[in-house]
Amino acid sequence: MPDPLHGIRILDLTNVLAGPFCCHQLAHMGAEVIKVEVPGSGDLARQLGADPDLNEKLMGVSFLAQNTGKQSITIDLKSSAGKEIFRKLVATADVLVENFRPGVMARLDLDYETLRRINPELVYCAISGFGQNGPLHEQPAYDQIIQGMSGVMSITGDDESAPCRVGYPVADTIGGLTGAFAISAALAKPKPGRGVMIDVSMLESVLATMGWVVSNFLVTGRKPQPLGNDNFTASPSGAFRTGEGLINIAANRQGQFEALCDVVEAPELKLDARFAARQGRLDNRKALQAALEERLANSSAAEWEERLNRAGVPAGRILSVPEVLSHPQIEGRDLLGSFTNVSGVDRPVRFARTGMRLDGKRPKTATPPPALGQHTENILQSLGYSRDEIIALQQAGVI
């Protein structure tokens, strides 16, 4: 099938992660994404990552990860000439995505109500920490702030380590996915009448993904607790020590528990009154874990993974990031992409594509992450600016 968003132009005014991740997903779907950046510095992510040399070149790894398939134009949106360029761009666009603090675009006179007069069909998506209104709407927010305020940190870790942050920017990522989902839904509506203002709150987006945890409290009044690696709905379900390495086992059903007992050669556990029924296994979780780990110590996590899955018991080793990236399951499904000869980067740039296939094919971006302002001149020429006008704008610091 053709790229679903082929022919859709998106203006990406976003920085760091939530917004860039949103637009990166849409770029994989075939949209033309034009990244509008501040002259001289651009997206802050250009200066973030594990390689100081790349950060210095404004091609930080954090930027490289979320910006393939995009073009880059630099515009000073505080200048009158910059605003004029941007308004011309908006007239050609289908979507605009920004993740400024609420009120910033209004102060620039570039908010949705203003821009819809230029382009009534514009899908305008604002991603912010708390949304466009409410008592916290003007408060700045980063991923860890949202993780803490959403309750995620309060249930991550165990009695000793909680509250603990999730090991990657989960709130930023969920906010970006929510934005991409909302934009895709808006684009499904035909013109005329497609124009809409999308207000994405990272806090609300994260809470929406915590369905079971939130509902357990709303319906039963039970306050969620940190359980470490244990599954709060079932036992034995969690991480277990083996003779070599850790393994996750999810024997959530009665048949799976009984099969687990058979595989580890502990049939007596099926008859133990403490473990015979689901609730009993939850009430006696620690005793059951100790009994199972005594048997699991006889083999490695890799061996148990194979035996348990063959018996119908869901199980998987706990892998490091390098281990999973080199796993045949990942290598064989074309998740990882690579670009060579990326401007300012002295090595191939590898990155993760979107986590889906369409008709068996992985959506792919066609171009590497752009250098800051790499496409400014071409985009301005497409808007009707002459070479002399572009030089004048450069000399004035507008672009």
Question: Per residue in 225-237, is it b (16+ CB within 10 Å) or e — as a string?
Answer: ebbeebbbebbbb
Query: Residues 6 or more apart from 278 whose CB is under 8 A from it?
Result: 234, 254
Residues in the chain with pLDDT < 50?
Answer: none
**Which sign does the torsion angle of CA 213, 214, 218, 222 carry?**
positive
Establish whether 172 is a catalytic residue. yes
pLDDT of the residue at 68:
97
Using N-to-C axis directions, what is the helix angle for 18-28 and 170-187, rounded to 10°?
50
CATH number, span 9-209+333-395 = 3.40.50.10540
User: Hey, which residues does 200 pair with through a beta bridge?
Assistant: 127
Q: What is the pLDDT of residues 310-346, one digit of tens each?
A: 999 999 999 999 999 999 999 999 999 999 989 999 9
* Nearest residue to 12 (alpha-carbon basis) of 88, 99, 119, 82: 99
- Contact of 367 with 67, CB cutoff 8 Å: no
Residue 119 and residue 122: Cα distance in Å, rounded? 6
pLDDT of the residue at 231:
87
pLDDT of the residue at 101:
94
CATH 3.30.1540.10 domain range(s) in the chain: 237-318
pLDDT of the residue at 233:
87
pLDDT of the residue at 5:
97
Which amino acid, 317?
Answer: R
Model confidence, pTM: 0.92
Read off φ and ψ for residue 98, nearest 5 degrees.
-140, 150
pLDDT of the residue at 232:
84
pLDDT of the residue at 2:
65
CATH number, span 237-318 = 3.30.1540.10
Give 327's DSSP letter: S
Residue 397 and residue 76: Cα distance in Å, rounded? 7
Active-site pick, 172, 230, 334, 388: 172
CATH 3.40.50.10540 domain range(s) in the chain: 9-209+333-395
Beta strands, E only, the chain: 9-12, 32-37, 70-74, 95-98, 123-128, 196-201, 237-241, 246-250, 315-317, 336-339, 349-352
pLDDT of the residue at 1:
57
Could you check whether the bond before residue 4 is cis, i.e. omega within 30 degrees of 0? no
